[in-house]
Amino acid sequence: MISPGDECLPSGEPAPFIARWNTLVKALIVEPSVKLVARTAVDYGIYDGTGIYPGNERLARQTGYDARTISHAWAVLRALGMAQRDGFSHWTGTRRTADMYALEIPDDWRFKPIYGPKFGRFHCEHCGRAFNPRPGTHVRKDGTIGFYLRNMTFCADPGRPKRTAAEKARKTRLKPVPQGCFEAWGGSTRWIQLGDDAWKLFQAARSDDWP
């Protein structure tokens, strides 16, 4: 499999950008809307990912998401360093043009929240249970991106158990929500104190590194 960092094939020929791009998009642990926009947009570019301007409305029709979701997906891709806006939308006098983008594979792609090359399940750093990591991205006001790594390091909270038919008939109170692994491990207070060590926990939960 071509990795995002493989600029050449084993034969020595240049590795296709679109193959490297699609590998990175598959590996990224981000919201499905971001993945679909990234996979759809690359079809509009030339071989090196430049000259992309389908427009948000067209992407909305193709992906099934609304224009606001498309705009947010672009904001995530820009914050990840995977998209560079080369030209802004403007009115020509007869129609409005679309933003123009160039797609890029950032040099620090290994340090993004991604699956390993085997695309295996993660293991909760508290209970050891295998699970599929949940995306958790947020774009800050300054255009940078942050990640809720706890969504990818600990298995999901069990949630409130359902009441039985007898309990519903008696109109008893809802059962308390059991404690999840993140809270049992130490919760947000301990997590905030970790700083950059939170990424080490993420990598431990993944247990599969890219070469």
Q: Can you tell me the distance from the alpha carbon of 104 to that of 49, in angstroms, rounded to the nearest whole number?
A: 7
- β-bridge partners, 147: 137
How far is Cα 71 from Cα 79, in angstroms, rounded to an integer? 12
Q: Is 13 left (phi over 0), alpha (psi -120 to 50) or beta?
A: beta
CATH topology of domain 17-111: Arc Repressor Mutant, subunit A (1.10.10)
Spatial contact of 82 and 38, defined as CB atoms under 8 Å apart: yes
Question: What tokens appear for 161 in the block?
Answer: 């158990």
**Residues 78 and 144: beta-carbon distance below 8 Å:** no
Q: Where in the chain is the domain with CATH 1.10.10.10?
A: 17-111
Alpha carbon distance 67, 149 (integer Å): 27
Q: pLDDT tens, position by position, for the chain (211 residues)? A: 789 999 888 888 998 999 999 999 999 999 999 999 999 999 887 777 777 778 888 899 999 999 999 999 999 999 999 999 875 554 444 455 567 788 999 999 999 999 999 999 999 999 999 999 999 999 999 999 999 999 999 999 887 777 777 777 776 676 677 889 999 999 888 888 898 899 999 999 999 999 8
Task: Supply the pTM of this predicted model.
Answer: 0.85
User: Which residue has tokens 């409130």?
Assistant: 160
